[in-house]
Amino acid sequence: FVDPCTRPNTCEHQGKCSVTEDRITCDCTGTGYIGKNCHFTIYRKTCEELALLGYTQDRAYTIDIDGNGRFPPANVKCEFQSIEDSTKTIVEHNLPSQVDVRSTAESDFSFDIKYREFTAEMLQELISHSLYCSQYIKYDCYKAPLELHSATWFISSKGTTVDYIGNVTRGSCPCGMNRTCVDANLSCNCDVLAGTAGKWLSDEGYYERPDSLGITSMVFLQQKDLEDDAQGRITLGPLECVETNTQKYVVTFTTSQSYIEVPGWRKGDIAFSFRTTGEKAILLYQPPIRSNYPSFMVALTSEFRLTFNFTLNTGTIRELEVQSIRKLNNGDWQKIWIDYNDYHVRFMINTDYQMVELLPEEEFGPFEGSMFIGGATAEHLRTSSVRQGLIGCFRGLVVNGEILDIHSYMSVHLSEIIKDCKPSCQPNKCQNGARCVELWSNFECVCENKWAHLGTYCETNINNKALTFTSQGAFLKKNYFGKDEESEETVLLKSILLQNILINLRTYDTHSLILYANDHLNNFAHLYISNGTSIVYLFNAGNEIKNITVEYPGVNTGISVQIAIIRNEKSTTLHVNEYNSTLNATPILLDTYSNKPWINPEKEVLAPQRPPAPPSNYFQVNLGGFDSNDLLRFGKEDMQIKGYVGCLRGLMIGEYLVDLPSLANEANHEGSKGVLPNCQMKCDATPCKNNGTCTEDFGRQEFSCNCELTSYFGEHCADEKGADFSGESVLQREFDPVDKVNQVKVQLAFSTNDVQQHTMVLLLLQTENKNYYLLVALSSQGGLIFEEDREGSVYEVRLRPGSFANGNRHSIYYVRDNNTTTLLIDRQPVQMVPMPVLKPREDEDNSPGVTEIQLGGLNTTDSRFSGNEYKGYTGCLSNVVVSINGGPSMKPLEEYMLFTKQGSETVRATILAGVRSAQCAVFHTEPRGPEPPRNDSVDRNRSWMEDPPKRNLYKSQYSDATQEEQGAGTYIFIALCCVFVTAVIGCIYEVWRSARKDRRRRREAGIAGSPVLSSSGSQRWQSQQYTDQLAGAVKTVGFKNVTEDEKRPNGTHKSAAKEYKPLANAESKDLINDKRVHIKADEEPERKELLGVNTGIITKPPKPNPFSMEDLQEEPELEECEEEEAAEEEEEEKGDDSKEQNPDEEERHQLKGEHTDDKDFVKSAITLNGIGQRTTVKNFSADSARRFIFNLQPIYLPDDRRIFGCPLNYVGIGEYQSRNRNSVESVLSLD
């Protein structure tokens, strides 16, 4: 049986494979991948994708550079400029800055640089899919030359040798390319001569070419001539890559009927982004080309839900629904990914995803046909569950890693689709805080306060008309009597009894009057605050009092409270901000007077004086208060109505806006002081920082900040007293022993990015009887632990790992009064749960403990905390406040730092240097949308500490081979020299032997008599006494040169001798002028003069007379000459051997041969006046016979007849005088 876990890719990405009950299971824990076989990454591929999810803080993040590929996740630093612009990915390494690399004390060495969780292959993967990358490098030198290529070079992640600084050519620096070096003749500043470089110089630049990026190794060789004070330093920056902008192709759909048809999705992953304000929309749709063929559709089906429908190869229809934690139609960009393998299909929207498992026979895709963006044709929409197209923007369609240019598929005639995404709300024309609703071809302003903000752009704010009441005795009263009731102002104000009413409050009151209006017939309208949490409106419907009450808890918090009383024919509605209440009743005015007008008088709160007789006509309005002398009753005894302190704004009766600021002077003139025009609140400038609560003092026109829940203190909630703990020191503060802890209050703030393998203790509060403790700690995974032992029952909170060791500020606020507790962590309420009680070990001694506060670690004998699980805290603590049983607040950090003298004598530190004054980090500002834990920052490792690279002794890879082969090279050289000397000696011997044979041949020829002249002979070979008589009547004949290529080795070449005949009409002077045979006549004297040749026979340049090729005769073949010569040489060699054996006999033979030769020579001593004519020579001796020359005309042959290379003795040429033997003519005509 074969173990199925051994099959390739059973569990990918180092997932742990196991077989249980005949099923294969992959454990993907800690791999960074999910799925049946650990295929799908849980991290984003690039920093750009993180930006699309709303991440904006520049820090370290975990990404997976190849998605579901083979490379593991790694930590990089992301720099976000803006969502619309490109992002930058930064990979750090372990080479510090300004590393000394060259001096007389250094030896040759190399560095192997390690990048943060990146291998060389991963660096190349990042470089390849980035838009461009760069890496900074700098070499500082003081009398230490750089000498690129020979003494300094680097190795890139691609494995290539980099022997240059910056984006320049090999062996140079940027200053060399720009001609800006210190020495213009050099390529680098640091290559200047050491004697003239008495100052620090540098060469720096940026690598940009892919083959030079990601320097992984550096080699530095030390020059032999370095001075004692020479120094060289290297600095290498991190690898920085700007990623490809996948979102550059953007379109806007302005109608639901528009769409774009593009090539279909076949296979691979797909991703895109959209933004809309509609509730339903088709995003992508690829219909089947035939029934039951694969197809898919991605549609927005609600504000928080996205649906993915697809058909598999089996015809099965599947549907995936993803519920998003973010609102999908809020006008923000939403990012979608779809990827799959053989086992799953994953559908992901932002950070939420769903996976569907495929059966063995099912296959996702491949799809066919075209794909529609933003909608589909009417024919395809008939069977679709969603029929509305997208009204909004679409961008970043990436199919199988390729960016699709959707602009190129837009139809020109479709005006409903436009390039780019230019929302109508940008810029936002809405005013007064109104929200702009994007309609993609138009916009709509939704006013923040729909009652007080009016106009298309919410540009009119009726709340600008306001009064400020600074005391309970200040109020505004308007009375109208008799004829005044007929005035326009009176009529408008009196309509308050029947018309709609708008008014805005800002106050801290609990029981106060807002407004009261009544007339002489007891008709009234009454609006007031009750209990600080309710707004009550009273009015009369005939003789009955009606009451509408709306509970609103923020009435007396100083915020803006908008009140609207809206009436219709049958009902009246009271609106208080977003709360409201409706009563099926409308005001009905009384038309007769009665001093007891109500059937339910118990509901009346303010009761004016009612005389028995009808009073004169009047109408009055009170704002913010009343005159108690005019009222019979103003509330119940325990809930009496008081004057209003705060702002009243935007009083509007029907369509009439009351000019409140103009009434302020009138109110003050009548004796009611403390009414100010307008409403200018100090708290509107948000002076309280860090979410501190601002309280307005209307009387003093001042403000105050409540910093209780901010983890800060001070006038503006911005001050803190903090300290950094090293993990080794514990701060201990003793306090008075207590029997039982019934009340406790703890406040503190902390920030750290250090995650240890153990639990770090921030605070321990413990009593000496060990019955009570309160513990605040961080778990080994960066989670928060809060425990309290309430003397017998233990409650705890353990919050999400990884969220509290991210370098941001976190706060804890805890108050307990007996069993009533309030726990706020990061200003959010948290519920504590019971847990098992931890008991001391039985073997622990019963010695009492210490009643004290411990910060930054533990120093206790309590066995519950003395194990290896708890260690010291590394990070910042600030604003620690502890109070026990209502006692004074203890501030250990302030007391230790001597910010306060009280209690300083009770504080001590185990290691003084381990606690230093510091400021902790600030609270993290949440980006748009939540950040999921799996993509959360790993900024806890932002100060990534890796040991610097070790210096490896550098040794040339050729040095050993050179030493080993040095001896063999010497022997080879000696052997070659011997061969050369032997060859030279052999050549010398061969020359000597040939010369000796030549001399012997000449001597024997001279003894035998005067030979017949060769046909190649010439009067130029003869002495001057014969040249005159030959010059006139000489006849010439040419010879053919038989090349080696013309020889026929196949035996067909004829060897029969041919007779040489003189050429007809061939004069020597004519042949000399023939360009095919001889040198030009006008050039011949000059050349002979240069060569030392006698040119006396040429008196004037001859006329050109080329000869005819038809007159040439055949000549003997070369093979015959060579065979005869070889035979003769063989005989001579035999003769030489015999002569060497018997030198005396040889000498006698020579003497005898001399007489024989003389005799033969006499017989043949005949001269020819012409060819075939013989002349007898008389009276000559043997000596004179040796000097006898035949008077024959030279024989010249054309080039095609000459056979250069036959020896002289073949044609009977004798020995000539030395001055003619070496002449140019003799050599050139040697045949």
Identity of the amino acid at 751: S
Would you state the pLDDT for residue 422? 81
Quick one: CA torsion of 850, 855, 859, 865, rounded to 10 degrees? 90
Question: Which residues, 6+ apart, have CB-to-CB distance to 830 below 8 Å?
Answer: 786, 797, 799, 823, 824
In whole angstroms, give the CA distance from residue 673 to residue 667: 7
Lowest mean pLDDT among 34-48, 567-581, 1052-1066: 1052-1066
Residue 1192 has what DSSP assignment? P
Q: pLDDT-derived band of residue 1147, with 50, 70 and 90 as boundaries?
A: very low
**H helices, E strands: number in the chain:** 17, 71
Residue 469: its H or E element: strand 466-469
Query: What pLDDT does 484 receive?
Result: 65
Burial 645-678 (b: 16+ CB within 10 A, else e): bbbbbbbbbeebbbebbebbeebbeeebebbbbe
Euclidean distance between CA atoms 1084 and 98, whole angstroms: 78
Asked if 364 and 340 count as a contact pair (C-beta separation under 8 A), the reply is yes
Which helix (H) or strand (E) segment holds residue 66: the answer is: none
Task: Answer positive or negative: Cα dihedral of 974, 979, 984, 986.
Answer: positive
The residues with which 140 forms a beta bridge, in sequence order, are 202, 233
Ordered domains of the chain (ranges, CATH): 1-42 (2.10.25.10), 90-243 (2.60.120), 250-419 (2.60.120.200), 429-461 (2.10.25), 462-679 (2.60.120.200), 680-719 (2.10.25.10), 721-837+847-918 (2.60.120.200)
d(CA 22, CA 11): 16
Q: Percent of the chain scored above 70 by pLDDT?
A: 75
Note the pLDDT of residue 843.
54
Q: pLDDT tens-digit profile of 429-465?
A: 999 999 988 888 888 999 999 999 999 999 999 999 9
End-to-end C-alpha distance for the chain, whole angstroms: 92
Q: Is the pLDDT of residue 1198 over 70?
A: no
Partners of 825 in the beta sheet?
Answer: 812, 828
- C-alpha distance from residue 101 to each of 120, 145, 171, 219, 231 (Å): 23, 11, 19, 9, 8
pLDDT given at position 297: 92
Residue 483: DSSP 8-state: G
pLDDT of residue 1111: 40
Residue 943: predicted pLDDT: 56
- Whole-angstrom distance, CA of residue 367 vs CA of residue 374: 19
For residue 1020, what pLDDT is reported? 38
340-383 pLDDT tens trace: 888 889 999 998 888 888 888 888 888 888 999 998 887 777 76
The conformational region for residue 180 under phi > 0 = left, psi -120 to 50 = alpha, else beta, is alpha
Provide the pLDDT for residue 212.
95
| Exposed e or buried b per residue across 112-137, where buried means at least 16 C-beta atoms within 10 angstroms of its C-beta | ebbbbbbebebbbbbbeebeebbbeb
- pLDDT at position 401: 85
CB atoms within 10 A of CB 559: 12
Closest CA to 424 of 442, 406, 412: 442
CA distance 1143 to 1149: 10
Average pLDDT on 10-27 reads: 86
| pLDDT tens string 387-399 | 888 999 999 999 9
**Is residue 756 over pLDDT 80?**
no
Handedness of CA 648, 650, 656, 662 (dihedral sign): positive
CB within 8 Å of 454: residues ≥ 6 apart: 447, 460, 461, 462
- Rounded average pLDDT over 791-817: 88
Cα 269 vs. chain centroid, distance in angstroms?
Answer: 21
Q: Is the pLDDT of residue 1016 over 60?
A: no
pLDDT of 491 reads 87
Q: 1139 pLDDT band (50/70/90 cuts)? A: very low
Asked which of 71-75, 619-623, 736-740 is least confident by mean pLDDT, the reply is: 736-740
**Taking residues 1133-1152, what's their average pLDDT?**
45
Residues 1100, 160: Cα–Cα separation, whole Å: 74
Q: What is the pLDDT of residue 1094?
A: 43
Which of these ranges, 197-201, 300-304, 1016-1020, has the smallest mean pLDDT?
1016-1020
pLDDT one-digit tens code per residue, 977-995: 999 999 999 999 999 999 9
The predicted structure's pLDDT at residue 1063: 42
Residue 237 has what pLDDT? 94
Interatomic CA distance for residues 300 and 283, integer angstroms = 7
Smallest Cα–Cα separation from 871: which of 851, 893, 856? 856
Predicted local distance difference test score (pLDDT) of residue 807: 87
pLDDT of residue 957: 62
Let me know: does 1175 contact 1029? Beta carbons within 8 Å.
Answer: no
The pLDDT assigned to 95 comes to 93
Residue 15 phi/psi, 5-degree rounding, is -70, 145
- Read off the pLDDT of residues 915-934 as tens digits, 9 standing for 90 and up: 888 899 988 764 433 343 33
Q: What is the pLDDT of residues 1018-1030, one digit of tens each?
A: 343 344 443 344 3
Return the biggest CA–CA distance within the chain: 202
Mean pLDDT, all residues of the chain: 79
Of 281-295, 476-490, 509-523, 739-753, the poorest mean pLDDT is in: 476-490
Q: What is the pLDDT of residue 845?
A: 57
The beta strand positions in 171-259, using DSSP E, are: 201-207, 215-220, 231-243, 250-253
> Looking at the predicted structure, is the pLDDT value of residue 759 above 50?
yes
Cβ partners under 8 Å of residue 961, min gap 6 = none
pLDDT in tens, 862-889: 777 766 678 889 999 999 999 999 888 9
Give 484-526 pLDDT, tens digit per residue.
667 788 888 899 999 999 999 999 999 999 999 999 999 999 9
pLDDT of 838-855, one tens digit each? 766 555 556 667 889 999
Q: Is 185 exposed, middle or buried (0-12, 13-18, 19+ CB in 10 A)?
A: exposed
Closest CA to 610 of 521, 484, 485: 521
- Residue 399 to residues 247, 250, 264, 366, 662, Cα–Cα distance (Å): 13, 15, 9, 13, 67
The token duo for 1028 is 């005159």
Which whole number is the average pLDDT over 692-705?
A: 90
Average pLDDT over residues 203-213: 94
Higher model confidence: residue 1097 or residue 295? 295
Helix 966-1008 and helix 1118-1141, axial crossing angle in degrees, nearest 10: 90
Burial of residue 927, with CB atoms counted within 10 A of its CB: 0-12 exposed, 13-18 middle, 19 or more buried: middle
Q: Note the pLDDT of residue 127.
A: 93
* Confidence at 1067, pLDDT banded by 50, 70, 90: very low
598 to each of 601, 635, 708, 709, 892, how far by Cα in Å?
5, 16, 49, 50, 66
